[in-house]
Amino acid sequence: MIIAITALKGGVGKTTTAIHLAAFFQSLAPTLLIDADKNRSALVWSKEDKLPFYVASQAGAPGLIKKFTHILIDTQARPEPEELEDLAAGSDLLILPTTPNPLDLDSTVKAIELLEPLNAQYKVLLTQVDSRTTTGRDARKFLEEAKLPLFKVDIPRLVAFERAPSRGVIVKDYPDPRSSLGWSKYRAIGKEVMAYIKE
Ligand X SMILES: Nc1ncnc2c1ncn2[C@@H]1O[C@H](COP(=O)(O)OP(=O)(O)OP(=O)(O)O)[C@@H](O)[C@H]1O
Query: How many residues would you count in the chain?
Result: 199
CA distance 21 to 128: 16
Q: Which is nearer to ligand X, 29 or 159 (CB)?
A: 159
For ligand X, the closer of residues 108 and 128 by Cβ is 128
Q: Is 20 in the site for ligand X (CB under 6 A)?
A: no
Q: Name which position in 8, 9, 15, 61 contacts Mg ion (CB under 5 A).
A: 15
Tell whether residue 125 is a contact of ligand X (CB under 6 A).
no
Residues in contact with 116: Cβ distance below 8 Å, sequence separation at least 6, in sequence order: none
- Shortest distance in whole angstroms from residue 24 CB to ligand X: 15
User: Is residue 88 classed as helix, strand or coil in its secondary structure?
Assistant: helix
Q: Is 187 in the site for Mg ion (CB under 5 A)?
A: no
Note the Cα 70 to chain centre separation in Å: 14
- CB closer to Mg ion, 42 vs 145: 42
Q: Which among ligand X, Mg ion, none contacts residue 158 (Cβ within 5 to 8 A by kind)?
A: ligand X
**Listed ranges 9-17, 80-88, 117-125, 188-196: which one lies at the site for ligand X (CB under 6 A):** 9-17
Which one of 68, 161, 174, 183 is in contact with ligand X (CB under 6 A)? 161
Query: Is 46 among the residues that bind Mg ion (CB under 5 A)?
Result: no
Size of the site for Mg ion (CB under 5 A): 3
Least Cβ distance, residue 117 to Mg ion (angstroms): 26
Q: Which does 96 bind (CB under 5 to 8 A by kind): Mg ion, ligand X, none?
A: none
d(CA 43, CA 23): 14
Cβ-contact 151, 126 below 8 angstroms: yes
Residue 13: CB partners within 8 Å, gap ≥ 6? 97, 99, 125, 127, 128, 155
Give 34's strand partners.
56, 73
What are the strands of the beta sheet with 31-36, ordered from one edge? 54-57, 31-36, 70-75, 2-5, 93-98, 122-126
Which residues would be at the binding site for Mg ion (CB under 5 A)? 14-15, 41
Which residues would be at the binding site for ligand X (CB under 6 A)? 10-16, 37, 39, 41, 77, 127-128, 155, 157-158, 161-162, 165
